[in-house]
Chains A and B, each alone.
Chain A
Amino acid sequence: MEAEPIVAVEEAGSCLPPQANAREYLHPPREGYLVFGRTQEIRFASDSLRAVLQLPSTAKVVGESLLPLLASVSGPDPQTSASVVQWLARQTAEGSGTELPPFALLTAPGASTVYISLDPVGDGYWVATFRDVTSTLQAESEMVAIAARDHLTGIGNRAFFENRCDGMLARLAAREVDSATVLFLDLDRFKLVNDTLGHAIGDALLQLVSERLKKSVREADTVARLGGDEFAILLVSATGREAAAALATRIIDMIQRPYLIDGHVVHVGASIGIAMGPEDGSTREALVRSADLALYHSKATGRGVFHFFDASMQQRAQRRHSLEVDLRKALVLRQFELHYQPQIDVESGAVIGLEGLLRWHHPVRGMVLPGDFIPLAEELGLAVPIGEWVLRTACREAMRWPESVTIAVNVSPLQFGMGNFADSVQRALGASGLPGHRLEIEVTESILLRDGQTVLATLQALRAIGVRVAMDRFGIGIASLSQLVNFPFDKIKIDRSLITLNQDDVKKRAIVCAISALGHSLGISTLAEGVETAEHLAHVREGGCHSVQGFYYSQAVPSGEVADMVSHLFPARAQAKALGSEGEA
């Protein structure tokens, strides 16, 4: 390969953004370089060199000789100066590039420490790179002083962050600075990496993430690992909202780029919450809480994004907290109840099943619908105990109703995927005396996203005890028709969005027909949800569905009213039958 007389010292991978202002933000001039030849005459110098070596702007560099220049800047300590000069002479003579131990440049107003490294670039030319490491060394020594280094990643730990944050807030209180900006960052999908590739790769990933974070901020900013996959960044003052937003965008971009670890290509994402003192908190506790809430908001709104703290998050958090407190007590205080909605056979008009629907009666909130508390229950780990209560209650109450009526129970993917779900079904059946064939478990298609083996094993175990499984809300999500072939479902519940339609909605009609037809050929029965009018009923009857459910027949009623509801529906059935027999006569 050809030797190039002069190369730029930025390496292919260095983090230099294309725009000059971004360059300034990310890398204040703390690295400069020059190129010199055999005679030690300086042939080229970077613009940043003057700032790094603190040379007066009038000083001539290009055309000067290297060693006198260094001697002039390497401070009043003659020994340091002499050793640098000797070292340079030796290195250039031997012809191999290495890094020199740090040498001090004592220049008013303060002392800075500069690393110098030499690289031969061919034809007797050398690049000398000067890197100001003063603030790195300061941070290092502080870290050592407060024993605050994270062992895995080598960056600061929580104690270090807290220490730095307190320092910043003290300066804020003394009006030395006018803001303190904290970014909290949490990795998306990190657990998945740990679970699938193992902890060694997870650890290596955390190290690379730390490196990328450090490269994304200015040297004087603080990057710390708070624990697990949580990081905090404290920005030095004079950072506006816009700059913080730009940095967050950049960090999210950097973190979500692929990693190559032990031959594996690994992907994670990052969510960020930003809080700025004093507005969002003038104590560490308050500022950290604000950043945490903003991070939580980012996590909840799709991940891979950042949000600034705002006061509504605080209110939402309070509302959520009080809902959490109430929800934790609801089971014990027996505030849950099942309501039942009938499932009707399209041909006979008979009630063939009842779907149990969870209701939460709260003394102050009134009736709370599942959509408003189940997501929180899942987050709090309450979904499984609540689900078990639903299962037991539905089985027990179903014993009061005619044997021809099945009872359908909704089960969360979490509960279904537990591995021992079939056992708890068996316990509920055993305790109530309900025969297995009268119970139907409704699951949403998202269970198919879980471990296929566990799901399949659970489906088979349920089938073995006679329990049927229905796929709920089919036709809106990720499940494809082909998955119906792979998993042994007994019933498909066609989502209401395909049923409630305008008269001219030809496409939806076609979908309902297709699903029903597939059901027929696979021996899976079909039920249309959300039937509210006679028109809907005609539409699904035409489409070939076996059964229906919806307001057209009845809304969900408390268990005490089920008997009445069923007897109200029976005349309709009797009428249909009568009409049928008349027709035959």
Chain B
Amino acid sequence: MNGGLFKILYCSRNYIEGEQAQQDAEISQILHTARANNSRQSITGALLFNSGFFAQVLEGPRPAIEKLFEKIQCDPRHGDVTVLDSGNAATRDFPEWAMAHVQTPSDVHACGVTAALDQAFLNPGESGRDVLTLLRTLLVQGD
């Protein structure tokens, strides 16, 4: 067993340009690819996207996570990657999702999401739990 279950949570800034429709197309492409690859690697997680930011949780065997994380780093569609939390974990937070798409609420809550992520960039060490809770909450609402 090489390290057991490993988890990493990061946020980054969105570099995808263009209209909403183009952005949506890129995101669904990212999700499709992620889901196809992740299920083979027993990686699960969730991806939040709004026009300014990404926030993503990846959980799975450490070597696979490290490989995927490196691949994600090389993606020019985002930047300013800030790791909020990482380490070994006992359980998965998103066991049923090869990559859950967390929808940004379109209503007033959108401001709250942006504020939470702004805070995460400023205080990466203390924001991990908040962002994770945010992802889980929005995921449930999105269902």
Residues of chain A whose beta carbon lies under 8 Å from any beta carbon of chain B: 1, 4, 7-8, 10-19, 22, 121, 208, 211-212, 215, 250, 253-254, 257-263, 265
Contacts and interface: CB of A to CB of B under 8 A. Distances in A.
B35 A15 contact: no
Given A1-B39, A258-B73, A260-B8, A13 B81 contact: no
B16 A18 contact: yes
Interface of A is mostly: loop
Contacts of A17: 76
A15 B76 contact: yes
B83 A11 contact: no
A265 B83 contact: yes
Contact of A263 (B6, B29, B81): B6
B74 A12 contact: no
Interface string B11-43: 000011110000000000110111111010000
Contacts of B33: 7-8, 10-12
The 9 A-B residue pairs with the shortest CB-CB distance, nearest first, are: A13-B71, A260-B69, A257-B73, A17-B76, A12-B33, A265-B83, A260-B66, A12-B34, A12-B30
Contacts, number: 85
Contact of A18 (B74, B77, B81): B77
Given A10-B29, A10-B33, A15 B70 contact: no
B69 A18 contact: no
A18 B15 contact: yes
A215 B72 CA distance: 13
Given A7-B33, A257-B79, A260-B65, A15 B74 contact: yes
A13 B72 CA distance: 5
A481 B6 CA distance: 41
A259 B36 contact: no
Contacts of B75: 12-15
Contacts of B87: 263
22 contacts: A1-B39, A1-B98, A7-B29, A11-B33, A12-B34, A12-B37, A13-B70, A14-B71, A15-B75, A16-B76, A18-B77, A19-B17, A22-B76, A121-B36, A215-B74, A257-B73, A258-B10, A260-B8, A260-B86, A261-B66, A262-B66, A263-B87
A235 to B, nearest CB: 19
B35 A258 contact: no
B72 A12 contact: yes
Nearest to A208: B70
B71 A12 contact: yes
B21 to A, nearest CB: 15
With most chain B CB atoms within 10 A of its CB, the pick from A13, A208, A257 is A13
A185 B15 CA distance: 25
Contacts of B71: 11-14
Interface string B78-95: 010101001110000000
A12 B43 CA distance: 14
A8 B70 CA distance: 20
A120 to B, nearest CB: 10
A263 B65 CA distance: 9
B138 interface: no
Nearest to B71: A13
Contacts of A11: 33, 37, 71
A254 B75 CA distance: 9
B95 to A, nearest CB: 13
B10 to A, nearest CB: 8
A258 B39 CA distance: 24
Contacts of A261: 66
Nearest to A261: B66
B96 to A, nearest CB: 10
Contact of A260 (B37, B70, B74): B70
A7 B86 contact: no
A19 B22 CA distance: 13
Contacts of A208: 70
A18 B98 CA distance: 25
B134 interface: no
Contacts of B8: 260, 265
Contacts of A265: 8, 83, 86
Nearest to A267: B83
A505 to B, nearest CB: 32
A8 B73 contact: no
Q: Which of A8, A17, A121 has the largest number of chain B CB atoms within 10 A?
A: A8
A12 B3 CA distance: 25
Nearest to A17: B76
A258 B79 CA distance: 10
